[in-house]
């Protein structure tokens, strides 16, 4: 067969030069491009503006670490069990970044995008409220939750949400996804009969979608943020170890019971 050709605009190197995204890595990227800016650029192949980078990095900060989440516990336990493999401990933690704990960001961004794809863009707040009302009513009729609505701890409001809206406004980057999400926050009580907070994971998804990042990979940015958080968890485990105590607290509280065969 004829040799296949694998095209890429990412890293490439010759004997004397390394390029990344078509730029000279050493001269044009190192020392010039911040890590958040580079991550955005790698994902879109488009260099972000300073404002886009600021919103993007605010999202990463919002998602980096939430304390002893299952992913953090998993990374610490895996490092306890296999200290020879930092990559394994980080990978194990990231594998918890699925539908339940890190998925809201992606679900919310995709959901808002799907609604906007079907609708004509409203020109004012009243228009956004009407679209949001229709959207929430439709979900209700389908007995489905509205992604990004509600939080088990921050019942009166997630502090990350107003802050991210404010940052997007400061940078002139409140786009249709954030507009629709804000409108859902205003109108949902009329439909649901109670007021739920717009959660931080959801507003992050709306902001990432407004930045034009690939919807299929929104979860990936939550995972990038979490990678930094998990390294922090490992660094703390090295000086304030808790993994062995967690393991023992489970092991010491286990109770052996009789097998319970499948019916």
Instruction: Give least dist CB 95 to a second copy, A.
Output: 4
Residues 61-80 that bind a second copy (CB under 8 A): 61-62, 64-74, 77-78, 80
Nearest to 67 by CA among 229, 250, 245: 229
Question: Distance between CA 205 and CA 43 in Å, rounded?
Answer: 15
What residue ranges in 49-187 does DSSP mark as E strands? none
Rounded (5°) CA angle 73-94-60? 100
Instruction: Give least dist CB 255 to a second copy, A.
Output: 5
Residues 204-263 that bind a second copy (CB under 8 A): 212-214, 216-217, 219-221, 223-225, 227-229, 231-236, 238-240, 242-243, 245-263
Instruction: Give least dist CB 134 to a second copy, A.
Output: 26
Find the binder of a second copy among 50, 52, 90, 125 (CB under 8 A): 90
Place of tokens 């958080």: 229
- Does residue 50 touch a second copy according to CB under 8 A? no
- Does residue 88 touch a second copy according to CB under 8 A? yes
CB 26 within 8 A of CB 18: yes
Question: Distance between CA 184 and CA 129 in Å, rounded?
Answer: 7
Residues 170-189 that bind a second copy (CB under 8 A): 170
């Amino acid at each position: 067969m004829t040799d296949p050709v694998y095209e890429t605009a990412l890293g490439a190197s010759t004997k004397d030069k390394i390029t990344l995204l078509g730029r000279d890595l050493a001269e044009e990227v190192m020392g010039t491009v911040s890590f958040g800016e580079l991550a955005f650029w790698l994902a879109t192949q488009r260099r972000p503006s300073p404002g886009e980078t600021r919103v993007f990095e605010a999202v990463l900060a919002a998602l980096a670490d939430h304390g002893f989440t299952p992913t953090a516990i998993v990374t610490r336990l895996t490092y306890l069990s296999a200290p020879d493999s930092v990559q394994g401990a980080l990978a194990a933690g990231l594998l918890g970044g699925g539908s339940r704990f890190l998925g809201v960001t992606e679900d919310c961004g995709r959901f808002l995008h799907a609604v906007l794809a079907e609708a004509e863009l409203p020109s004012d707040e009243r228009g956004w409220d009407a679209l949001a009302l229709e959207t929430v009513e439709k979900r209700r009729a389908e007995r489905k939750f509205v992604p990004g609505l509600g939080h088990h701890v921050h019942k009166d409001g997630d502090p990350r949400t107003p802050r991210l809206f404010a940052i997007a406004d400061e940078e002139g980057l409140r786009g249709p996804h954030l507009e629709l999400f804000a409108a859902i926050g205003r109108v949902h009580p009329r439909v649901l009969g109670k007021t739920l907070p717009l959660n931080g994971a959801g507003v992050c998804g709306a902001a990432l979608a407004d930045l034009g990042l690939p919807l299929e990979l929104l979860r990936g940015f939550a995972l990038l943020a979490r990678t930094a958080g998990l390294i922090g968890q490992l660094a703390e485990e090295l000086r304030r170890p808790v993994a062995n105590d967690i393991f023992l607290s489970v092991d010491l509280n286990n109770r052996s019971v009789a097998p319970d065969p499948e019916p």
